[in-house]
Chain A
Amino acid sequence: MQPQYDDRQRQAPAYFDQLQIYKARIVSKPEPGDDRLQVRVIPHMVDIPEKDLLPIWPPFFRGQVIVGKTEAIDQKNADYVWCAALPDFSVGFVIGLANTYEGQDKYAHSYNYKDLVQSLMKRGVVSSTMNYKDLYVQYWTDDYLEMVNFRTGDKFIIQSNGNMIVMEQNQIYLRVGSGDSSETADNPNASVPPFSAIRMS
């Protein structure tokens, strides 16, 4: 058989002493005091019946704790992580949450830059010169975004409910709440959605 048709020659042999990159689904998060994740390497371990023996691997980098949605809580929507492991899976590490790959044409899994900038500009936090290409997003989910403008050094921490911390070169802006009113955010009788903000410059 020519090598390219031999499935086994397409992958690292089981005896390799080299870490390989694998995708895995988070199965469960152990109890407090154990910062590792139990994972199911995909597709290799998709039907392994001995769930208790699925790998429990630590974060790749010290000082990190990686979490995500688990199979234990939501079988269908568990998050995926990248793992570095030996091909026989006897040793492995969890590198971090895994992104999706959607092909060459379109990438739907992007953060909502337009709404974000509009919201920031409305609050006078950023200028119209802010450029998408300058923003290094460190982490984002549907409810949270953390980014740095690598040209100016401005730092943004923003939650979907409108809470934000913005550190610019000449001001620090702290805000609680998402509305347009400057009433205190904890006023239940406010006529319009309230917010509370401090701008220090």
Chain B
Amino acid sequence: MKEPIVSAYLDGDPESIPDISVKSIKVFASIFSSYPGAEITIDDPEGRFLSALYTKPGATITIAAQSGGVESSSDSPVLTFCPFRVIGVSNKGVLLTDSDMVQLGSLGGDYVIHLCHPWAMQSDWSNHAYRAKASEIVKKIVSGSNRGFAFTNITIDPTDDAGSITRYKIGESEARFIHMKILPYATIDKQASYSFVDELGGFHLRSFLRMYNQEPKMAILPPRSDAVATLWDEKSTLEQMPLYDGAWWIGRKFLEQIGNFKKVLYVEDSLSQISFVANLPYQPAIPGYTLMKKEYVDNVKVTDVSIYPYRNFEDAVRLNVNNNGVMNEFFQVSVTVDFAPDLAVVGQTTLLKISGYETTKDHWMNGKWLVAGAEHFQKDGRYYSKYLLSRPALNNLPTDINPESLYKV
């Protein structure tokens, strides 16, 4: 088995940060935040890196990786993560008590380099007014190169709005403008929209469904054993990855989510001065079971109320749709597999194919999931990828649960 190789280069130096000193490299991203981050920990017991001030805030660091695989396979292509900028350097002891002894005379210990995508610090700050569809505004902004770097890979789905409302970018970064003033009023196919930069630097403005519709490149299975042999498919076109560690959470934000099943919306359209009271039944991004008791939803008239004064009707409705986006996180599973940024990054899909209590039967949670968060990290000298998978509803149920008793959407 070949281990993945991950190296980091400082300010374009062809010589990587000495592997022998690198304790860990961690890259993380999610569909909920504007841009990814990273952290490199260098073992510096003598305080040598600090003495030389090895990295300074603002410096550029490139992290490149080559996935592992079986010995017989040819070398995987080198994958470069998005460019990163140093936003801080710290020693753990600065922030919290650490039991590790450090050489106090030289402030030795772990030399932790905190990194962020360049968009966190480099932006076109100029003020502008835009009147166009949200997707066109975002495209115009991210296509610009007046910020010291350019996005090379941009995926923008067309938004539903008519583009009749002027948006003002005033004293704010591009990312903040998009998140605060565009995203809340942008829907795609009448669904919540997400704007983020993935670990490889690609910019996305997408809906859950459009991301979910992508074919997975990877299936996650239980570690090989005789008991689960039937789950592994030697002819599979998907890369099959054993699950090392996993966790799950159903309804992590349940008290926020329950309100969306039967919400009532009060809107006063500032254009027509007409007040609306709209009953909004829940429309999920993908159909399936929510595990919500049907009886509960059927027997209550209202689960939550939202009031949007002053807004244009179009903005108010789309704001509500985006508020419903929390439903897309109703089911969450986190899985840790071998290092796999070449197979899945945030905004892509993966196939969950784990075993049930009876190992020969499919688990009811199996199926395609969206990668909502990702962390590629090193532990005990090995590199792994940990994915946070999300779905708003499931296709299958445990056999002894009566589907008629559940609210199906």
| Chain A positions near chain B (C-beta within 8 angstroms) | 13-15, 17-19, 44-45, 47-50, 53-55, 86, 88-91
The 22 listed contacts between A and B (C-beta, < 8 Å) are A14-B180, A15-B180, A17-B310, A19-B310, A44-B127, A44-B170, A48-B128, A48-B129, A48-B168, A50-B129, A53-B129, A53-B131, A54-B129, A86-B310, A86-B311, A89-B166, A90-B166, A90-B311, A91-B270, A91-B310, A91-B311, A91-B312
Most chain A beta-carbon neighbours within 10 Å: one of B130, B166, B181, B312: B166
Q: Number of B residues contacting the other chain (C-beta, 8 Å)?
A: 23
**Cβ of B308 < 8 Å from any Cβ of A?**
yes
Is B292 interfacial (CB-CB < 8 Å)? Answer: no
B144 within 8 A of A: no
Question: Does B309 reach chain A (CB closer than 8 Å)?
Answer: yes
With A15-B184, A88-B168, A90-B167 known as contacts, the answer to whether A48 contacts B310 (CB < 8 A) is: no
Q: Are A17 and B168 in contact (CB under 8 A)?
A: no
Q: Across the interface, which residues of B come within 8 angstroms of A44, CB to CB?
A: 127, 168, 170-171
User: What's the Cα separation between A13 and B172 when bound, in Å?
Assistant: 12
* Residue numbers in A under 8 Å from B308 (CB-CB): 17
- In the assembled complex, the Cα of A40 lies from the Cα of B308 at a distance in Å of 26
B307-323 with Cβ < 8 A to chain A: 308-312, 315
B172 proximity list for chain A (CB < 8 A) = 14
| B369, chain A: closest CB distance, angstroms | 30
Check B277 for interface membership: any CB of A closer than 8 A: no
Find chain B residues with CB under 8 A from A18 CB: 310
Closest to A7 in B: B171
In the complex, the chain B residue whose C-beta lies closest to that of A19 is B310
Contacts A55-B166, A88-B167 known; A17 to B127 CB distance under 8 Å? no
| Interface SS, B side | loop
A49 adjacent to B311 (CB under 8 Å): no
B171 touches A90 (CB 8 A): no
Task: Please measure, in the bound complex, the distance between the C-alpha atom of A82 and the C-alpha atom of B291, giving whole angstroms.
Answer: 52
Evaluate contact between B130 and A17: CB separation under 8 angstroms: no
List of B residues within 8 angstroms of A47 by Cβ: 126-127
Chain B proximity of A173: nearest CB distance (Å): 44
Do B128 and A50 have beta carbons less than 8 Å apart?
yes
**When the two chains form their complex, are residues B180 and A90 in contact, meaning their CB atoms are under 8 A apart?**
no
Q: How far is the CA of A47 from the CA of B165 in the complex (A)?
A: 20
Chain A residues near B309 (CB, 8 Å)? 17
Determine the chain B residues whose CB is within 8 A of the CB of A14 once the complex forms: 172, 180-181
* Cβ 8 A contact of B166, one of A13, A17, A19, A53: A53
CB-defined contacts of B131 to chain A, threshold 8 Å: 53
Greatest chain B CB density within 10 A among A48, A50, A54, A90 is at A90
Which of chain B's residues have a CB closer than 8 A to the CB of A45? 127, 129, 168, 170
Give the complex CA separation of A91 and B308 in angstroms: 13
Distance, CA A13 to CA B176, complexed state (A): 11
Chain A residue, CB-CB nearest to B177: A14
Q: Which residues does chain A contribute within 8 Å of B310, judged by CB atoms? A: 17-19, 86, 91
**Inter-chain contacts of B311 with A (CB < 8 A):** 17, 86, 90-91
A18 to B309, CA, bound (A): 8
Q: Which residue of A lies closest to B172 (CB)?
A: A14
Cα distance A55–B167 in the bound complex, in angstroms: 10
In the assembled complex, the Cα of A15 lies from the Cα of B183 at a distance in Å of 11
Q: State in angstroms the CA–CA spacing of A17 and B323 once bound together.
A: 15
CB-based contact A90/B315 at 8 Å: yes
